[in-house]
Amino acid sequence: MTNSNVSATFQDAGALYDFMGHAPLDYDLHENVSLVNLGYWNGLNSFAKGHLSLSNRALFQLVCKNAGLSKNDEIVTDIGCGFGDVAIICVKDFNCPNVIGINISQFQIDKSMEKVAQMNLQHRIAIKNMSATDLQFADNSINKMISTEAAFHFDSRVDFFREAFRTLKPGGILSLADMVYNQPRSVLEKIILPPLQDGLYIPSANIYGFDEYILKIMEAGFEILDAKNITSFVRPYFRKWAFSHPVNLVLNRKISWIFSTIGFLVYPWEYIYLVAKKP
């Protein structure tokens, strides 16, 4: 497995999210959901109140529906499970009997376990401290695997693809949404990218475009069922939301971290969803 010095600031992505703590972009007070994802804004308005929450939920639903989740999936794993919201959707909306969420941020693990306990779902959802590039699951043991806006952190994403292929059962499905950072194509992008990688913990091994992304997951052994670049439904809408909610972006965040990652609102990252099958 790759073990590179990705960030001078954070040891790994878990340290980044431990540092951030409970500092979501916004809250959905009605559903006790911490809104930390960029969202899928198909048909939504960036400026409408509550639409960040709706876009987050639409993103979760997109990933889960693409996986074809159902009560027949004995074991579903949520890789990079954040605050546990997607794992809960797997159980409540798709009736999955057993969901295992993995994360390396102990802060998020603790909060996820609290939320699961509050909803009395401990018998169906387990949250574990585990690396996406070193999955502690047996070969051919997982029915479905999902990951929402996390794989760009994995060191490296190719190692995750290999582990996903190893642990999924034959016919098993990997469904994910992910951010894609292309190689810089201008002087400005070359200046912006290094501090962005440092502040957001993005390994250099993961800096490549959509086409290469497809090739790498196929090289791991997967058959691509569906793959789309959905940047037009994410980036412009989230940026409009961000610029219209500056207080939300600053609240509970460290000033030094804000300055190091401000390039996120400028760099031409892309956003994809992908569904792959282990033959």
* Domain spans of the chain, in order of start: 13-277
Report phi then psi at 240, rounded to 5: -60, -45
- What is the CATH topology of the domain spanning 13-277? Rossmann fold (3.40.50)
**Which helix or strand (DSSP H or E) is residue 163 part of?**
helix 157-167
Token digits for 186?
């201008």
Please answer whether residues 227 and 274 qualify as being in contact, where contact means their C-beta atoms are separated by less than 8 angstroms.
yes
Cβ neighbours for 262, distance < 8 A, ≥ 6 positions apart: none
Mean of the per-residue pLDDT values of the chain: 91
Could you give the C-alpha distances from 199 to 14, 57, 145, 189, in angstroms and in order?
A: 12, 26, 27, 15
User: Cα(154)–Cα(167) distance, rounded to whole angstroms?
Assistant: 17
Token digits for 111?
């909060």
Please answer whether residues 208 and 178 qualify as being in contact, where contact means their C-beta atoms are separated by less than 8 angstroms.
no
Given a cut of 60, whether residue 255 has pLDDT beyond it is no
The string of pLDDT tens digits covering residues 46-84 is 888 888 889 999 999 999 999 999 999 999 999 999 999
pLDDT at position 248: 65
Is the pTM of the predicted complex or chain greater than 0.85?
yes
Given a cut of 50, whether residue 3 has pLDDT beyond it is no
The answer to whether the Cα torsion of 88, 91, 94, 96 is positive or negative is: positive
- Predicted confidence band at 29 (pLDDT cuts at 50, 70, 90)? low
Position 279, amino acid: P
Given a cut of 70, whether residue 219 has pLDDT beyond it is yes
Could you give the C-alpha distances from 100 to 84, 113, 159, 187, in angstroms and in order?
A: 10, 11, 20, 43
The answer to whether the Cα torsion of 220, 133, 155, 234 is positive or negative is: positive
Given a cut of 70, whether residue 128 has pLDDT beyond it is yes
Share of the chain above pLDDT 70, in %: 89
